[in-house]
Chains A and B, each alone.
Chain A
Amino acid sequence: MEFTFAMSVGVLTTAGIYLMLRAQTFPMIVGLTLLSYAVNLFLFASGRLTVNGAAIVGSSQHYADPLPQALVLTAIVIGFAMTAFVLILAVRARSDLGNDQVDGRQLPEQRSTLGDALAVKMEQKQSRKSDNGKRKQP
């Protein structure tokens, strides 16, 4: 059971981190949400796993640790507030900047095939490089 739990946390973390490294806001926030799940489960795990032992006085012989539960409960609600804030920020960023890029830069038209995407990325890289060049000159 413990192994399955830990593996699930690991999988959630992997997916969360990967999506957080994406270039658009929406996948990034989805990644943040996945990471929040992982973090909450991890914190919850610090009280170890207990079955049929809810921390209600008088309901069982062996109680689950209530302290991590209380902490995770507040973490869930705070996590919601944070997700909401970032999400609204993303909406606002699109409205103000006209794109949904994490870096806030307008990219050339997005295309869906792999080759084109690579080409586009190369162009960006070059243009970024030339930007840097310009910046250094003065």
Chain B
Amino acid sequence: MNVLWILLLPVAGIALPVLMARAGRTVTAWVTALPPALALIVLLQRAPEVFAGEIPTFSLAWVPLLGLNVSLHLDGLAFLFCLLILGIGLLIILYARYYLSERDNMGVFYSYLLFFMSAMLGVVLSSNLLQLWLFWELTSISSFLLISFWWRNSDARKGARMALTVTGAGGLALLAALFLIGDVTGTYELREVLAMGDVVRASDRYYLILTLFLLGAFTKSAQFPFQFWLPHAMAAPTPVSAYLHSATMVKAGVFLMARFYPVMAGTEAWFVAVSLTGMATMLLGAYIALFRHDLKGLLAYSTVSHLGLITLLLGLGTDLAAVAAVFHIINHAVFKASLFMAAGIIDHESGTRDMRKLNGLWKYMPWTATLAMVAASSMAGVPLLNGFLSKEMLFSETLHQDTLGALSWWIPLLATAGGALAVAYSLRFMHDVFFNGEPIDLPRTPHEPPRYMRVPVEVLVVLCLLVGTFPQFMVGTLLSTAAGAVLLGNLPEYSLAIWHGFNLPLLMSAVAVLGGGILYLNRRHLFEFQMQFVDRDAKYVFEDLVQRFIGRVTLLHRWLDDGSLQRAMFLLVLLALVVSAAPLFDLMQMVGSHPQLPINWVVGFCAAMLVAATFITLWWSHRRLVALIALSVVGLIVSIAFAYFSAPDLALTQLSVEVVTILLFLLALFFLPQRSPEIDSPLSIIVRDFSVAAMFGSVIGTICYALLTRPLDSISDYFIANSKPGGGGTNVVNVILVDFRGFDTLGEITVLGIAALGIYKVLAQMRVYMPAADINGHRWANDRHPVMLAVVSQSLLPLALLVSAFIFIRGHNLPGGGFIAGLITAIALIQQYVAHGVVWMRERMPLNYLAFIASGLLIATLSGMGSWAFGHNFLTTWFDYFKLPVVGKFELASAMVFDFGVYLTVIGATLLILANLGKLTTSDRLRLGDD
């Protein structure tokens, strides 16, 4: 089966638990377990191939231009991690079935869990850098959901937020690193990048890449100084902690380091940054773990410590250390998952996790106690258990390096100290909880958990034992394949035997165990010593930082947007001014080489009129009717300008739109105050606004002038050349509209239709202010519909319709077309409304304008789809010439059908707007919105 299934099955299963939640808890758990189980089968089926050294891949081009592909690969490392994620995931599903109570929403929990599982699988399977990052961030988001599962609890919310912030921010750093890697290597495909490690390391941006990359990895794996988020994520339900902090979430960071080991490792910088961070984390985590009273807190810091150990191993940079790192990844996942589950059982059955109360549980739950103690011994590194083996490898590796020069002996010493601390906290976990006297007022009397809640722990503890005693048989191949993937096949010689003879590492182990024992025996003194320090809760420090940050941002936001649209508009204009003016400073020459046209008196007069009319609009803007009349003059001159500068179609459109716009303005003005205050703002504001506007105008004028005087290199020659042979029309503008760029036009009339519908909705059920008299106090005339106007406009209607038909038909070859014809028809009908009123019109012409819009859009779309029937692309036009006896030769084109759709939409939209607004003046307004 394809490797894609390993990822696809859990993804497909995400919704299942929520849907099945009603079927009962056991059924839900079974349904949840199904997709990972199937995925595990697929994985195991590919195992022989992977162990034989092949790398099954899957790839699908997604956005190849950006280097984004869906590509998966299943190499040794990915295989190992898939096994851990799916295997431990299945155990967690079983465990959670008994851990969660009746009150918890189990379906949602399982869905989050599968979501997280899918994201993790995506991270380890990805062989495209950007895709890897996408899944990386998904793990942050899904773990946020899991940690905050008990969202009513403030600690859970704070812990989840902290985890998301830290790991999410690290993810952004990682993204930057991946972009840089992609830039340096020229590819985003992981397999190619892995082969180009030399290029990356030799690049002068290597240090930047390394810093960003390690920020991503260290935040995820809770390395010092980012270790603080991990213990707070313990507010999650224990199955989540067991999953996130053993095999998955925090392992993603070390996975990343292992994955990019061939690219990043091998330099002095890598060694110093990674191994020292790992060492610091290991010691700090182990030391703090010793003083935690919370069972899960102890385990959390021990996780931090062990992650530090793995990081240290990866940082040492020798091949054997890398093998040891991979080995410890496996071992830690196994014993830590079982320990968390055991801690969950203790919490579940006794009601507390406080080790000051939990004592002597051996008597109450001997079987669980045995399991937990075996796992804890493995954590401490006791022989015959798996933890011992990898710790032994660590000790031996620390002896074989000399990077710190004469002080290299520090490293084995510190590693031994870390080992001793690990022994001490493991002892505390075992002795404090299961022995050490009697329990102190527990909320419940502890007892053994339900049978199946213990099964996952048993499975894992048996694994600890088996790996510890028969390492080569149990994990030999798995380890060599995974480590081989990390080292790109350059596997060193090593042996997984338990007994290597009496040597220095064994002595270090012995010292560690002994030292741990002494530390634990003297714990009272240590505790007293530690009591002297103030323990600052990272949660509150972090929360304080977050709140302060939010406060600042809120202030900034308030300053930018105080709720005044006027102010926001001013800021926007100012920004646009700065952005558009800045490039002009680099424009050395304002006037270009394009030959200029000579000016004549007609143009001069029109320009003067335009300026004068604009000025009147401005000056008398408080007398709104006057401003409106001046505005219509401006519009008129604009259409004259279009006509003069060889754009007859534009002139016709502008002219007819002008009529409709001014009519609409007049109607709207009826419902608005007739005057504005003469001075609407303080003088300073007016001066400010006008200066900004004048600067804006001069900038735009300058750009326009610079543009007009520069030579033109247009793509329009193609349109002009192909208009007749390709589109069958000589009016190039119209052919562009209905043919070359027909899809644009279709979108545009859709917008027009939507705007009209929006207006129709806004007008519905509106309460209106209607003045009883005009601005000078004159009452409205009694003669609402003057006879002369009525008669003239009525007799003009057929003529106007004829004109619009003519304009429509000739549109393909001469100025005209659907837009203009539609506007002319609309104006002719509006004139009837003006002359006769709404009631008269409704009786004689019960037109449904909504239907106009709908049918127009339908016709235009269908005419475009028609070309599919002939195997052409959407909106391909067809045309031919025919001959009829009387008419003579004429042309038929499918573009005309499209144009007819445009025509209908324009009529419908225009009239829907105007007729409905007009209706408001009559008693009909109450019926608006009903029809």
Chain A residues close to B by CB (< 8 Å): 1-27, 29-30, 33-34, 37-38, 40-42, 44-59, 63-67, 69-70, 72-74, 76-85, 87-92, 94-96, 100, 102-104, 110-112, 114, 117-118, 121-122, 132
- Asked whether B603 lies within 8 Å of A4 as measured between CB atoms, the reply is yes
CB distance from B376 to the nearest CB of A (A): 52
0/1 interface trace, chain B 446-489, chain A, CB 8 Å (1 if under)? 00000000000000000000000000000000000000000000
Q: Within the complex, what minimum Cβ distance (angstroms) separates A111 from chain B? A: 7
CB neighbours (8 Å) of A100 from chain B are 672-673
Which chain A positions have C-beta within 8 A of B627? Answer: 27, 30
- Give the residues from 585 to 621 in chain B that come closer than 8 angstroms, CB to CB, to chain A: 594, 596-599, 603-604, 607, 610-611, 614-615, 617-618, 621
Pair A1/B737 contact, Cβ less than 8 Å: no
Cβ contact of A64, chosen from B614, B647, B768, cutoff 8 A: B647
Quote the shortest CB–CB distance from A138 to chain B (angstroms).
14
Instruction: Specify which of A1, A63, A96, A121 is in contact with B598 (CB 8 Å cutoff).
Output: A1
Are A49 and B672 interface neighbours, CB within 8 A?
no
A98 to B642, CA, bound (A): 41
Known contacts A6-B705, A67-B719: does B732 contact A88 (CB below 8 Å)? no
Residues 732-766 of B, flagged 1 when their CB comes within 8 A of A and 0 if not, give 11001100010011001001100110110011001
Is there an interface contact between A30 and B723, defined as CB atoms closer than 8 Å?
A: no
Is B868's CB within 8 Å of the partner chain A?
Answer: no
Cβ–Cβ < 8 Å partners of A56 in chain B: 730-732, 813-815
Interface segment out of the listed B158-166, B201-209, B530-538, B689-697:
B689-697
**Other-chain residue from B714, B730, B917 in contact with A67 (beta carbon distance below 8 A):** B714
Partner of A78, one of B696, B701, B752: B752
Name which of B54-62, B317-325, B560-568 contacts chain A. B560-568
| Contact call B733/A95, Cβ cutoff below 8 A | no
Closest 6 CB pairs of A and B: A10-B701, A14-B697, A6-B705, A18-B693, A81-B755, A1-B597
- Taking a contact as CB atoms closer than 8 A, the residue among B573, B607, B649 that contacts A4 in the complex is B607
- Inter-subunit contact B701/A67 (CB<8 Å): no
For A80, give its contact among B569, B657, B815 (CB under 8 Å).
Answer: B657
**Main SS at interface, chain B:** helix
CA distance A55 to B668 in the complex (A): 37
What number of B residues sit within 8 Å (CB to CB) of A? 116
**A residues in contact with B648, CB < 8 Å:** 54
Q: How far is the CA of A47 from the CA of B694 in the complex (A)?
A: 25
Instruction: Collect the chain A residues with CB atoms within 8 Å of residue B1's CB.
Output: none
> Which of B187-195, B385-393, B675-683 lines the interface with chain A?
B675-683
List, in ascending order, chain A residues with CB within 8 A of B693's CB. 13-18, 21
Contact partner of B634 (CB less than 8 A), chosen from A7, A20, A37, A114, is A37
CB of A30, distance to nearest CB on chain B (Å): 6
Determine how close the nearest CB of chain A comes to the CB of B371; give it in whole angstroms. Answer: 54
Binds A, one of B237-245, B296-304, B412-420, B659-667: B659-667
Interface centre among B661, B679, B712, B719, by most chain A C-beta atoms within 10 angstroms, is B679
Contact of B645 with A67 in the complex, beta carbons under 8 Å: no
CB of B310 within 8 Å of the partner chain: no
Task: Give min CB distance, A37 to chain B, whole Å.
Answer: 5
Please give the residue numbers on chain B whose beta carbons come within 8 Å of chain A beta carbons, in ascending order: 562-566, 569-570, 573, 594, 596-599, 603-604, 607, 610-611, 614-615, 617-618, 621-622, 624, 627-628, 631, 634-635, 638, 641-642, 644-650, 653-654, 657, 660-661, 664-665, 668-669, 671-673, 676-683, 685, 689-690, 692-694, 696-698, 700-705, 707-709, 712, 714-716, 719-720, 723-724, 730-733, 736-737, 741, 744-745, 748, 751-752, 755-756, 758-759, 762-763, 766-769, 813-815, 819, 906, 909, 913, 917
Taking CB atoms, residues of chain A closer than 8 Å to B617 are 15, 19, 30, 34
Asked whether, in the complex, the Cβ of A50 is within 8 Å of the Cβ of B769, the reply is no
**CB <8 Å contact, B712 and A103:** no
Q: Chain A residues near B733 (CB, 8 Å)?
A: 55, 66, 69-70, 73
Residues in B neighbouring A81, C-beta threshold 8 A? 751-752, 755-756, 909
B564 is contacted by which of A10, A37, A103 (Cβ under 8 Å)? A103
Chain B residues with CB under 8 Å of A85's CB are: 755, 758-759, 762
Of the candidates A15, A45, A57, A117, the one whose C-beta lies within 8 Å of that of B704 is: A45
Q: Given that A37-B635, A95-B768 are contacting pairs, would A44 and B680 also be in contact in the complex, using a CB cutoff of 8 Å? A: no
Given contacts A33-B631, A87-B664, contact A117 B642 (CB under 8 A): no
Write the chain A residue with the least CB distance to B677.
A110
Is the pair B672, A65 in contact by a Cβ cutoff of 8 Å? no
- B628 to chain A: which residues have CB within 8 Å? 30
| Neighbouring A residues of B708 by C-beta, 8 Å | 2, 5-6, 45, 48-49
Given A10-B701, A47-B712, is A64 in contact with B646 using a C-beta cutoff of 8 Å? Answer: yes
**Interface-central residue, A12, A53, A59, A100, by most chain B CB under 10 Å:** A12
Residues of B within 8 A of A34 (CB): 614, 617, 631, 634
Name B766's closest neighbour in chain A (CB-CB). A95
Contact in complex: A19, B679 (CB < 8 Å): no
Q: Which of A37, A69, A95 contacts B647 (CB 8 A)?
A: A69
A74 near B744: Cβ-Cβ < 8 Å: yes
**B700 engages A10 (CB within 8 Å):** yes
Q: Which residues of A contact B696 (CB under 8 A)?
A: 13-14, 17
Check if A1 sits within 8 Å of B563, measured CB to CB.
no
A2/B596 contact (C-beta < 8 A), A40-B638, A69-B647 known: yes
* Contact between chains at B909 and A33 (CB < 8 Å): no
- What chain A residues lie within 8 Å of B731 (beta carbons)? 55-57
Closest to B615 in A: A15
- What are some 6 contacts across the A-B interface (CB < 8 A)? A17-B693, A21-B692, A41-B641, A63-B732, A64-B646, A100-B672
The docked-state distance in angstroms from the alpha carbon of A37 to that of B704 is 14
Complex-state Cα separation, A5 to B744, whole angstroms = 28
Q: Quote the shortest CB–CB distance from A112 to chain B (angstroms).
A: 5
A73 to B642, CA, bound (A): 11
Distance in Å: Cβ of A122 to nearest Cβ of chain B: 8
How distant is B160 from chain A, measured CB to nearest CB, in Å? 28
Determine whether the beta carbon of A67 is less than 8 Å from that of B647: no
CA distance A14 to B694 in the complex (A): 5
- Contact: B714 with A5, CB < 8 Å? no
A5 CA / B603 CA spacing, docked (Å): 9
CA distance A83 to B638 in the complex (A): 17
CB-CB nearest in chain A for B917? A88
When distances are taken between beta carbons in the complex, the residues of chain B under 8 Å from A5 are: 607, 641, 704, 708
Residues of chain B within 8 A (CB-CB) of A26 are 624, 669, 672-673, 676
Measured between alpha carbons, how far is A43 from B202 in the docked complex, in Å?
A: 50
Indicate if the CB atoms of B704 and A74 lie closer than 8 Å.
no
CA distance A122 to B648 in the complex (A): 51
Given contact pairs A50-B646, A89-B762, a sample of 20 additional A-B residue pairs in the complex whose CB atoms are under 8 Å apart: A1-B598, A2-B708, A5-B641, A17-B573, A17-B697, A18-B693, A25-B672, A47-B714, A48-B708, A55-B716, A56-B731, A57-B732, A66-B733, A67-B736, A74-B744, A76-B657, A85-B755, A94-B672, A96-B767, A121-B685
Q: Is the CB of B638 within 8 A of A41?
A: yes
CA distance A6 to B592 in the complex (A): 14
Which residues of the partner chain A approach B759 to less than 8 Å between Cβ atoms?
84-85, 88
Q: Do residues B704 and A11 form an inter-chain contact, with CB atoms below 8 A? A: no
Does B680 lie within 8 Å of A24, measured CB to CB? yes
* Cβ–Cβ contact B736 & A66, under 8 A: yes
CB distance from B680 to the nearest CB of A (A): 5
Shortest CB–CB separation between residue B377 and chain A, in angstroms? 57
Within the assembled complex, what's the spacing in Å between the Cα atoms of A88 and B768?
12
Q: Which residue of A lies closest to B756 (CB)?
A: A81
- In the assembled complex, which residues on chain B have CB atoms less than 8 Å from the CB atom of A112? 677-679
Please name all residues of chain A whose beta carbon is closer than 8 Å to the beta carbon of B681 when the two chains form the complex. 22-23, 117, 121
Give bound CA distance, A33 to B614, whole Å. Answer: 11
Are B700 and A92 interface neighbours, CB within 8 A?
no
- Residues of B within 8 Å of A94, CB to CB, are 671-673, 769
